[in-house]
Amino acid sequence: MPERLIEVKDLKVQFATEDGIVRAVDGVSFELARGEVLGIVGESGSGKSVTAMTLLGLTKEKNTRFEGEVLYKGRNVLAMNEDELQEVRGNEMSMIFQDPMTSLNPVYTVGAQICEAIQIHEKTDKRAARLRAIELLKQVGIPNAESRVDNFPHEFSGGMRQRAMIAMALACNPDVLIADEPTTALDVTIQAQIIELVDRLKDEFNSAVILITHDLGVVADVADEIVVMYAGRVVERAPTRKLFYDPQMPYTWGLLGSIPRLDRPRQERLHSIKGTPPSLIRSPTGCKFRPRCPHAFDKCMEEPRLENRVEEPGHLDRCWLSVDEKRRLREATIAGEEEAA
């Protein structure tokens, strides 16, 4: 049994705003063990980034309220003070962000920014830190790392900047790497390289990875388990294979249907989920996906619990449809023939 690193228990994150209370994360639970890759998938505004930032205590503001627990090796991150958080950030858990173009400070060299991460957590002199930075840049596949280390971020391409971000995140050999849409701003060929890199480095550094994305295709190959989020809640959670072969939640079908595929007849248009994600201030009653769900019926006015409904024990979902109905209906949705049906 690999060491359990992170345990999120019924996490709720609420922001008080002028318009009302935003329930950005509303009862999310998951676990992460060393060596694992957890994928968190959902549309914009589903609460996935807030969940990730909360793991590092980065959402702590005066107008934020937390409930539940985020345990890192048994210690509750939500209860830590600023000093303890600084000790964890970048050292034990580190994070890479969506847009590598803006995530590096333009006025410092890439090397200086990596060294900064090293020196804040470890007592190393400048020279040793610099050598480590060069070594890290080599590991993430930057050519000529010895000279590139003194380049400024604007002298790097987008893919190289994301590699540099990864090098910086791994500088102190963290246990957990949180990647918040690491490939969204990159072109497709680079996307695959970055994901591969993260997957390889996870083994080299013996850490665990949380990979956040809106694109199921990105996590398909690397994630061990996938959590699908909608309106701040987990709506389906399953081992990756199960989620792709036997998806239970109509929202997941929508996400799967919106991936372009070569093995299906070419459609006129790519399938999309109709409507927009609900307001997190006044969310719909009952199942949160009900207003957009083509298969909603009376019972959906009451919200289903996240529980196991199929034969596979680790596979949880929030949908009232019977398993047989789901299996029949989803073929149409995923194939994009929903309108004809």
Partner 1 sequence: MLAFLVRRLVGAFLVLVAVSFITYLIFVKIPGGDPAPRIAGRLATDQNIADIRQKLHLNDPFYSQYWAMMQSLFTGSLKSYSSQLNVVQEIKRGIPATLSLTIGAGIIWLGFGILVGVISAVTAGRLSDRVITVLALIGISMPVFWLGLISRYLFAEGHPLSFLPDGEYVGLTVNPWQWFVHLLMPWTVLAVLFIGFYGRVLRSNVLDTINEDYVRTAKAKGLPPRRVLVKHVLRNSLIPIVTLFGLDFAAVIGGSAILTETVFNLRGVGQYAADSVQSLDLPPIMGVTIYATFFIVLFSVVVDLLYAWLDPRIRPT
Binding of residue 106 to partner 1 (CB under 8 A): yes
Q: Which is nearer to partner 1, 154 or 305 (CB)?
A: 154
Distance CA 264, CA 310 (A): 27
Residues 6+ apart with CB under 8 A from 189: none
What phi and psi, each to the nearest 5 degrees, are found at residue 41?
A: -120, 145
Distance CA 308, CA 292 (A): 23
Closest CB 81 distance from partner 1, rounded Å: 12
Asked if residues 218 and 255 have their Cβ atoms less than 8 Å apart, the reply is: no
Q: Choose, by CB under 8 A, the member of 1, 107, 262, 340 that binds partner 1.
A: 107
- The residues facing 6 across adjacent strands are 32, 72
Closest CB 7 distance from partner 1, rounded Å: 21
Phi-psi region of 217 (alpha: psi -120 to 50; beta: other; left: phi over 0): alpha
Size of the site for partner 1 (CB under 8 A): 28
Binding of residue 105 to partner 1 (CB under 8 A): yes
Q: Which is nearer to partner 1, 74 or 106 (CB)?
A: 106
Binding of residue 104 to partner 1 (CB under 8 A): yes
Binding of residue 154 to partner 1 (CB under 8 A): yes
284-313 binders of partner 1 (CB under 8 A):
none
Site string for partner 1, 32-71 (x = CB under 8 A): ------------------------x-x-------------
Q: Which is nearer to partner 1, 40 or 226 (CB)?
A: 40
Site string for partner 1, 81-100 (x = CB under 8 A): -x--xxxxxxx--xx-x-x-
Closest CB 126 distance from partner 1, rounded Å: 15
Q: Which is nearer to partner 1, 95 or 296 (CB)?
A: 95
Asked if residues 39 and 183 have their Cβ atoms less than 8 Å apart, the reply is: no
Residues 6+ apart with CB under 8 A from 278: 231, 284, 288, 291
| E strand residue ranges, the chain | 4-17, 20-33, 37-41, 64-72, 75-76, 93-96, 176-180, 208-213, 225-230, 233-239, 307-308, 316-317
- Bridge-based pairing state of the strands 307-308 and 233-239: unpaired
Closest CB 271 distance from partner 1, rounded Å: 32
Q: Structure tokens of 266? A: 């070419």
Asked if residues 38 and 216 have their Cβ atoms less than 8 Å apart, the reply is: no
Q: Which is nearer to partner 1, 60 or 214 (CB)?
A: 60
Residue whose token pair is 């500088």: 171
Closest CB 122 distance from partner 1, rounded Å: 11
List interacting residues with partner 1 (CB under 8 A).
Answer: 56, 58, 82, 85-91, 94-95, 97, 99, 102-107, 116-117, 120-121, 152, 154, 165, 168
